[in-house]
Every structure is written in structure tokens, then in C-alpha cells.
Amino acid sequence: MKLILDHIHYIRNQSILLDDINLELEENHYVLIGPNGSGKTTLLSIITGLDWPTTGKSQLEINHNRYFSAHQKHLFGYFFPKIATWFEAYHPEISILETLCTGFYDQLGYYTEATHKQKEIAMSFLKEYIPSVLEKDYHKKFLHLSTGEKYRTLLLRSMIKNPKILVLDEPFDGLDIKGRIQFEQFIHQIAKKINFIILVLHRIEEIPNFIKKAILLKNGKVFFYGNLDAALTSKNFSQLYDMDLEIQKIQKRYYAIIRESTY
């Protein structure tokens, strides 16, 4: 399978948000990085078929045939932490099991009763991936889970239909150090079963070690695309963020350090 982004432009209110994005991505584990306003979220919306580009195409190549991403939404799993706030605010009575089952219908609420088979699948996911939540508690409110358990439940929700491509948008947002480490370990479990992952991050120290390639965006354009070590250099990041940055790698983790303090 390939994800083909064919000369994508996206213009809204006379502003160019994406400018000639042209990439062919094969099955691999990617990180997408760029400053605020660089077009990351817009690009994700187009990749997952939630929006259409102004010009250009986002397509999946499957067995030498090409299909528009918007017509293949069932092949994508999409997780972003803010969805937890949505369920808490608008569906405070929804249960853990019901929250997971909403993924079968891509709904942000339990509007469609899950079938017996779907509930069995959801329960098997919970047993395998979140054993800390006991079966007797599956009908308790999602609201009462810890933040880490909520994130794990919602990530499983994005996987409930066995997607071919998993998109994780700032998955560690809102987690403390312990929670981030635990959730990263959880994502590692998932990465063993999904060959195509696109991870969006702001902080390079959060990049898991299973990530192999990087896409750097700046001002709506691809600034760099390639292997992780080649992407995460002091020169690239100084230009990407218009700051004098030094990138260091310590125990398989990358860190960005400002060379001359302005404090």
C-alpha cells in the first residue's frame, strides 16, 4: 500500500495553507513535525479524507489501483487527545464499552447500538490491551477513567475496525512524564501490529524509537523528507524554527537545545 500526495494545494480565505505537497509514502512509521501554522493538521485532514484539497490529489494505491482517500476512510484510524474532552463534555454518561464501540460507526457519541459481535470485539480489545480495566467495569462511565486509560481506550477506538493506516495527532498532549512514558509503551504495542503509522509531534524528545522516517513542514511546504537521522539535524531545525538550535541524540532520544541563551 502507498499513500500518494499528488501536488496538493489548500487555500482558505485567500491564505495558502498547503503549497504543492508532493510525496509518495510506502508502509512505514513516520513522524510529521513543523512549527505551529505549518499545515500539519490540515494535511492530516486531507490524508484521512476528512477534507479535500483545493487542487491536487490524496490517494491510496492498493494492488496497483488508486483510490481517493476520502472514499477509503475505513482504512484510517485517527486518534487525537482532544476527543476525550468531547466525550466528557457532551456524553458524560457514556460507558467505557460504548465509547469503544462508537469507533465501528465513526461517531462521536453512542448513537447506534453496537451488535453483539461488535461488543465482543470491543471487549476482547479491552482485555488484551487494557487489563487494568476489569470486565465488571466495562459498563462504568468513561468519565471516571484516568487520563491514561481514557487515551488508551480512545486509541483502541481508532483501531476497532483494523485500519491499515493509523494517524496519531499529538498523542502525548496533556500527559505528565509517567503518563507519557506509559502511553508510549502502549503505542509501541500497537506499532507491532500496524505497519503504516503517521505520528504528529511538536517535541522531538517524544519521538518513539520505532519511527523510521520524518516529514518536516514549514509554511505549508515540505521542508525535508527522509530518514529520521538525516531529518533531525541542527541545520534543519535551526532553519525550520528560525532559531539557532542544536540537536543532540542521547540514549536514542533527540533533544533540541538553543545554542545561545536569550534569557
The sign of the torsion formed by the CA atoms of 19, 22, 26, 28 equals: negative
Any idea where the domains of the chain sit in the sequence?
2-258
For the chain, report the end-to-end CA distance as a whole number of angstroms.
Answer: 48
Share of the chain above pLDDT 90, in %: 87
Radius of gyration of the chain (CA): 19
Query: For the segment 82-120, what is each residue's pLDDT rounded down to a tens digit?
Result: 999 999 999 999 999 999 999 999 888 899 999 999 999
Q: What is the pLDDT of residue 206?
A: 95
The sign of the torsion formed by the CA atoms of 221, 6, 83, 180 equals: negative
Query: For the segment 221-244, what is each residue's pLDDT rounded down to a tens digit?
Result: 999 999 999 999 999 999 999 999
Query: For the segment 37-51, what is each residue's pLDDT rounded down to a tens digit?
Result: 999 999 999 999 889
Rounded distance, CA 115 to CA 167, Å? 26
Rounded distance, CA 179 to CA 16, Å? 37
Strand pairing of 221-227 and 245-250?
unpaired
Instruction: Note the Cα 132 to chain centre separation in Å.
Output: 24
Residue 188, pLDDT > 60, answer yes
Q: What is the pLDDT of residue 263?
A: 53
Going from the C-alpha of 251 to that of each of 67, 177, 178, the distances in angstroms are 41, 17, 18
Query: For the segment 14-67, what is each residue's pLDDT rounded down to a tens digit?
Result: 899 999 999 999 999 999 999 999 999 999 999 998 899 999 999 999 998 898
Give the amino acid at 158: S
Look up the pTM and report it.
0.92
**Is the CATH code 2.40.160.210 the one for domain 2-258?**
no
User: Span 170-194, mean pLDDT?
Assistant: 93
